[in-house]
Structure 1
């Protein structure tokens, strides 16, 4: 008898635990009259569902505005002088005079150095003497012919004139050779360092000194393929250098390559930078920036963007109901996103709380006054 009672108690405890954890089976509720209770509770549940369905979601709204986005390209480049040259010796010889002081400003035609020119001066004197002699011969022959003398034939006079022309040409050659012994500045600018000094012997083609006209610099830099649309001759560029922190120099694009590099997928660009004060030096590394404003585009807070299996979208409140508009994201900057969308400008966009919305759901703006029963 004790075993029977113990078994009944055990089954009762197990049945109670099952009912608490998994609910009472329908068959049992029918036996206990639970269907009447369930039927009575159904209208209350439906009423609660309708009440939940009609409850508006509180969101933060903001008007949809359009603004231009500023495209910014940042790159690194280096500069050379727009006008520059390397002076070389045109002839061999010993240096007898120099005026090569580093960073000195020279003008075109200023004397930089002189080579020993004694041989060339003597050659010029010989050429001038031969010219004078040829000139005297021609003058004498022409005088005789003008007096009616038949001693000088036409052939003799012609040969004398040819000899004079040759003598004059030799004088010209001698003058060029003498001029080549003096090296002058081919352009105006600043001299670089030179190791040429008096007594050195130069060979033809030896480098003497560099001259840079730094009143304008030519910056060379690379622009990636995605930013090729920013390139145009005359477009303004902004240049800065760590040497002059906080100072910005302006320039403009003068040329760019007609093709992309097959490895770097970028184009080489040149920009001219005005440097009237001469503070920038050739060879400096520059941080280069180019900007361009796009056409106005709708801009929304980043929190307004939601995602589903169709892609990105934003929610707008129309007559108190939520409507979703697909968007194509164009640009991002901070917490702002520029998009393409069919949503009209001025529409009230859900800036916060969009993740809780469904199509057609009722919405109310945060801080808005609710009516009775809301």
Structure 2
């Protein structure tokens, strides 16, 4: 009997809770003599204050869609050599009798750097000049006799003398060249490198004497990966830095680049000229190289505005208090900013905070960010 009363009491509690939540059914109200609910009666309300069955709005932060250019930056490392450089080698063998090979000394084109023993060549030049003078006298005497009507000198004899004179002059020229070759001169203007050649050394033909670098303009060589090939163009500015001069940026321009990519590194070799009129940079230095380029303006949103689903990336836009998700293609990222391609027009209100809570067609309200936490 006790169990029966407990069950009856439980049934009464359940019935009361149902009546409070969903109302009393019309049939039961008629049996009790009450008035049933009509269509005009106000529907029951949810604890949140809205009518039962109607979704609550989501609070989000909106911002108009804007567009900005993105700065593409390529950072790479390269090394530089002098744009004009030369290695001086001997063309003759012999003993060094005089040198002017002071390291880092600036020399002008044509300056004498080294002299070899040239006593033999001077004697050969003297012999050639004497022979030329002798033949010249013979030609002059023959011509004088012919002018005076002397028939002893025939045309053949005069012609042979003139040919001999031409040969004698050519021998003088050869002797002069041989004598000049005993002196090595600077082929270009620039600064001398270190040399271990000294007076008294015996040199052979083809020995390296010294290097000369014209460092007023350096040629930097570096690699550009395949993804950045679009940055390459002759004359494009290049920014160069080196740990030797911290905080100093040197200017340069692309002068040439390879017509094909390396099959292993998938990069192209690029050359850039660097102005070094001050002479601060040296040939062989390693440089950090930077190239930049501004893209066309693209829509940009905070990273928090990007959401993902099985179709890919997208953004939520709000219109008349309801949201719609539009696909977006991410082009670039920089910190918390994302440059995208989307069909949304500029000025469209984009959900930049709270996007992860939204569903298609959801009702939203805008958060008042100007109010403090205690407002």
Q: When the two structures are superposed, what TM-score results if normalisation uses the length of structure 1?
A: 0.87
Q: Could you say what secondary structure the match of 1:322 adopts?
A: strand
Partner residue, 1:235: 236
Q: Does 1:113 align with 2:93?
A: no
Query: Any stretches of 5+ residues in structure 2 without a counterpart?
Result: 24-41, 371-375
Gaps of at least 5 residues in structure 1 are 17-23, 370-374
Comparing 331-340 with 134-143, greater Cα deviation is found at: 134-143
What's the offset of the Cα at 1:36? 8.8
Tell me what 1:290 maps to: 291
- How far apart, CA to CA, are the structure 2 residues paired with 1:162 and 1:299? 88
**Residue number in structure 2 paired with 1:357:** 358
* Distance in 1 between residues matched to 2:222 and 2:318, nearest whole Å: 49
Give per-residue Cα distances to partners, 1:284-314, cap 9 Å, x unaligned. 0000000000000000000000011111111
- Residues 138-173 of structure 1 show CA distances to partners (whole Å, capped at 9, x for unaligned) of 111111122222211211111111111110000000
Structure 1 partner of 2:220: 219
Paired position in structure 1 for 2:156: 155
Q: Deviations over 1:292-342 (max 9, x none)?
A: 000000000000000111111111111111121110000000000000001
Q: Distance in 2 between matches of 1:293 and 1:210?
A: 42
Counterpart check, 1:325 vs 2:305: no
Provide closer, same or farther for how the CA distance between residues 147 and 33 of structure 1 changes in structure 2, counting only shifts above 3 A: same
1:42 positional shift: 4.0
Q: Which residue of 1 aligns with 2:281?
A: 280
Aligned to 2:21: 41
Q: What are the residue-to-residue correspondences of 1:57-68 with 2, within 5 Å?
A: 57-68=58-69
Q: 1:179 to 1:52 in 2, by over 3 A?
A: farther
Shift of 1:368: 7.9
Shift, 1:349, TM fit: 1.1
Paired residues of 2:223 and 2:267 also in contact (CA < 8 A)? yes
Check the 8 A contact 2:43/2:52 in 1, yes or no. no
The RMSD of aligned alpha carbons is 2.4
Give secondary structure in 2 for the equivalent of 1:355: helix
Counterpart for residue 74 of structure 2: 73
Shift of 1:33: 10
Instruction: Compare the two structures and name the one with the higher helix fraction.
Output: 1
Secondary structure of 2:145's partner? helix
1:339 corresponds to which residue? 340
Match runs of 1:176-191 below 5 Å: 176-191=177-192
Alignment: residue pair count:
346
Partner of 1:260: 261
**What is the rounded CA distance, in whole Å, between the counterparts of 2:111 and 2:347 in structure 1?**
70
Q: Return the offset for 1:52.
A: 6.6
